[in-house]
Amino acid sequence: MPFKANAARRHRIPKQRHRVLNWSAYDAALRQRGSLMVWFSEEAIAAWRAEPRTTRGGQPHYSALAIRTALTLRTVFRLVIRHRRG
């Protein structure tokens, strides 16, 4: 069905003019184009980790600051969780 939705405007979609020869540089350029650098203060970095776990196993705990920061980035930039990691 999606190919029929643009059938009337199909002639306006331009064809690729250049072949990509250096795929590693092309992929790196695409990743760089969407990059965003965020700086944190030393106090925020110190408060990032929550108290260590006293029990074995399980998921790691994060501080309230880390959770609020991740949720703020999700709201502002409309990112899913896997894009906020790192």
Q: pLDDT by residue (tens digit) across 35-86?
A: 677 888 898 888 888 887 777 877 777 888 888 888 888 888 776 666 555 5
Instruction: Give pLDDT tens digits for 7-33.
Output: 776 666 667 777 888 888 888 887 777
CA separation for the pair 52, 34 (Å, rounded): 34
Where in the sequence is the domain holding 14, given as residue range(s)? Answer: 2-84
Residue 69 Cα distances to 2, 16, 22, 32, 37, angstroms: 37, 40, 37, 22, 14
pTM: 0.47
Report the domain count for the chain.
1
